Amino acid sequence: MTLKGREVVLGVTGGIAAYKAAEVVSRLRKQGANVHVIMTKSAMEFVQPLTFETLSNNPVVTDTFDRRAPWEVEHISLAQRAEVFVIAPATANMLAKMACGIADDMLSTTLLATKAPVLVAPAMNTGMWTADATQHNMEVLRSRGVQVVGPGAGFLACGDVGSGRMSEPQEIVAAVENILNPKLDMAGLKVMVTAGATRERLDPVRYMTNDSSGKMGFAIAEAAKNRGAQVTVVAGATTAKEPDGVSIVRIESTRDLLAAVTARAPEMDVIIQAAAPADYRFSVQHDQKMKKQSGAAIVLELVENPDVAAAVGQMKKPGQTLVGFAAETENLMENAARKLDKKNLDMIVANDVSRPGAGFNVDTNIATLLTRKGSVECPLQQKAELAQRILDQVLELRK
């Protein structure tokens, strides 16, 4: 009964996944939560309020103008009573209304009035989820502290296969538990995470880089911070939103990364290297913009960069846990196992970056967490979820 006596308001909006919200209510109740359901008109096209009334053992609020439940009181009282406000499923329309502060029905009105943490479980067709407008709305909501669970990927009711499937009820309930009873199992630990791409300059306007967005590293940093760790991120070029509440050190090249990471490594308990540092740099960096050579070919020489993870491995202190990543396009596990040893890591996160939904610049990843004791498979999932699995394994290793 991890949620005994806790007050959860669940908003159900109009998508086929509304039927799964019934299981969310049931699981929340089994954990002892007091659940209040608010349904939109379209949600009622998919599931009857009676289902939620029966499962929650509370009246279901459906309409702002229902005279049986005076809305002036109802929407404010539920907004105030909520310890967490969950929207599952959250349609593209609902997310857009939330991003704009539109309050035109009972659910959106109550949501606008609440001061409780808000968790959304988006569910929609892949095209709608990936639409610029929806992604922009998600950015706005995330920047306001709205927490997001999913969506997962898979076979969708519309026949598409892709991202947009509502997270499973147990994942939503786990996210609620995490909000109401945050796991502080990393309290007291100092964690350093590397993220993003390094840039190797050729001249003042040109450089060599890669597609790393920083999403993976930032997700790990955010998760470690939420679990109580004191987090430092050493980041190259990134496009992902920076996590709040962590210290961020910006670097440009692999040699900058080496300096920043090795300077801080001795004081860290856990170091997780998700950055994609360039293995090579130009042997000459020009001070001025290079000019064209009247049609003649230019040969640029590359020299090898230092291996930051290997350097950290060499200076490893007792009690430290070192985690690296292996970004591969072939022979994933053989290459990852070799890097685990060569860089003196405790764990390596092997990701085949040629697989759809894995690797660079996407919100999801597919990975195998390889240690000297065995491996854990992490099928296609949000980087935020993978970050939690990586941290779970780090804590296992530290036992």
Residues that are catalytic? 158
Contacting ligand PMT (CB under 6 A), which of 12, 274, 366, 384? 274
User: Least distance (Å) from ligand PMT to the CB of residue 128?
Assistant: 23
Of the candidates 59, 49, 124, the one whose C-alpha atom is nearest the C-alpha of residue 93 is 124
Q: Is 254 in the site for ligand PMT (CB under 6 A)?
A: yes
Residues in CB range of 255: below 8 A, 6 or more apart: 281, 305, 306
Strand arrangement, sheet containing 270-273: 247-250, 230-235, 190-195, 270-273, 321-328, 347-352, 364-371, 375-382
Residues 329-348 that bind ligand PMT (CB under 6 A): 339
User: Least distance (Å) from ligand PMT to the CB of residue 335?
Assistant: 7
- DSSP per-residue letters across 110-148: HHHH--S-EEEEE---HHHHHSHHHHHHHHHHHHTT-EE
Distances (CA, A) of 326 to 272, 282, 323, 337, 349: 12, 23, 10, 9, 6
User: Least distance (Å) from ligand PMT to the CB of residue 214?
Assistant: 5
Strand partners, 230: 190
Q: Is 262 in the site for ligand PMT (CB under 6 A)?
A: no
User: Least distance (Å) from ligand PMT to the CB of residue 328?
Assistant: 6
Residues 345-384 that bind ligand PMT (CB under 6 A): 351, 353, 359-361
Task: Provide the mask over 156-195, with x wherever binding to ligand PMT is found by CB under 6 A and - wherever it is not.
Answer: --------------------------------------x-
Tokens 């959106």 map to which residue?
Answer: 108
Residues in CB range of 78: below 8 A, 6 or more apart: 9, 36, 38, 61, 110, 114
Of the candidates 357, 354, 364, 363, the one whose C-alpha atom is nearest the C-alpha of residue 327 is 354
CB of 287 or CB of 330, closer to ligand PMT: 330
User: Least distance (Å) from ligand PMT to the CB of residue 392?
Assistant: 17
CB of 164 or CB of 217, closer to ligand PMT: 217
Task: Provide the mask over 206-245, with x wherever binding to ligand PMT is found by CB under 6 A and - wherever it is not.
Answer: ------xxxxxx----------------------------
User: 13 exposed, middle or buried (CB, 10 Å; 0-12, 13-18, 19+)?
Assistant: buried
CB of 122 or CB of 359, closer to ligand PMT: 359
- Residue 336 CA from chain centroid, whole number: 23
Task: Provide the mask over 293-322, with x wherever binding to ligand PMT is found by CB under 6 A and - wherever it is not.
Answer: ------------x-xxx-------------
Tokens coding 317: 């202190």
CB of 93 or CB of 365, closer to ligand PMT: 365
CB of 11 or CB of 150, closer to ligand PMT: 150
Q: Is 276 in the site for ligand PMT (CB under 6 A)?
A: yes
Distances (CA, A) of 52 to 10, 39, 47: 10, 9, 9
Q: Is 325 in the site for ligand PMT (CB under 6 A)?
A: yes
CB of 80 or CB of 314, closer to ligand PMT: 314
Tokens 């306001």 map to which residue?
Answer: 144
User: Least distance (Å) from ligand PMT to the CB of residue 385?
Assistant: 13
- Backbone φ and ψ for 328, nearest 5 degrees, come out as -125, 160
User: Least distance (Å) from ligand PMT to the CB of residue 114?
Assistant: 32
Q: Is 87 in the site for ligand PMT (CB under 6 A)?
A: no
Q: Is 327 in the site for ligand PMT (CB under 6 A)?
A: yes
CA dihedral in degrees (180, 122, 129, 150; nearest 10)?
50
Q: Is 281 in the site for ligand PMT (CB under 6 A)?
A: no
CB of 103 or CB of 397, closer to ligand PMT: 397
**What CA–CA distance (Å, rounded) separates 219 from 260?**
20
- Kindly list the residues in this chain that would bind ligand PMT in the complex (CB under 6 A): 194, 196, 212-217, 254, 273-277, 279, 305, 307-309, 324-327, 339, 351, 353, 359-361
